[in-house]
Amino acid sequence: MQNLNAQKHEEERLDMVETQIAQRGIKSELVLGAMQKVPRHMFVPANLESIAYYDRPLPIGYDQTISQPYIVAFMSEALDINTGDKILEIGTGSGYQAAVLAEMGMEVWTIEIVPELAKMAQKNLEEAGYSQVNVKCGNGFKGWPDQAPFDAIILTAAPKEIPQTLVEQLITGGTMILPVGPVYSIQKLIKVTKKEKGIKQKTLLPVRFVPMIKSYL
């Protein structure tokens, strides 16, 4: 039965990448290859395993979600990263985006503000074979200064404006992909490139993410 389930999930992953991602314009072989391999069903609640590869975000508890596969792929490609780059993720969630980045060959550092999710993500990542990902529970607005600078930063929760603290933790020439906008409304997915002086911004597409918060009670 386990072998049958593994085969079924592999077929679902390949179909997901072909129909939801490649056919919609994602061209990075690094991204496509990673998403063919990362077992998304291991990063969703057990009762949602049968729909893990559907073209939609899914709830993971604590008012948080795992992003739609296409958005994960789009953001990963937009980072313009190379194997071996050091990446900071804000908003670990269940750990799926971090696993994709790790499968792409990145050195991943990820912060989750909800303690229960941080523990869940650590467990999911270890069980899926990505124990090299560095996970901590903390305030994403502060970043991870002890490990800065980073080649790229990705946010999977939306602040109302670009956090300057995170910009400061990017290398010059580094990129940050993040949703920016009001709580529970349409936001803009923005690509930030850090320059010698200031930043360059480019709006990529409209999105809807959970809000980025400074504390969790």
Nearest 10 degrees: Cα torsion 75, 79, 84, 87? -80
* Cβ(144)–Cβ(111) below 8 Å: yes
Burial of 89 (0-12, 13-18, 19+ CB in 10 A): buried
Which neighbouring-strand residues pair with 202? 191
- With tokens 């936001």, the residue in question is 187
* Spacing of C-alpha 152 from chain mean position: 12
Positive/negative CA dihedral, 187, 79, 95, 171:
negative
Show the CA angle centred on residue 178, arms to residues 157 and 112, nearest 5°: 35
Report which secondary-structure segment, H or E, holds 149. Answer: none
- Residues known to be catalytic: 67
C-beta atoms surrounding 57 within 10 Å: 17
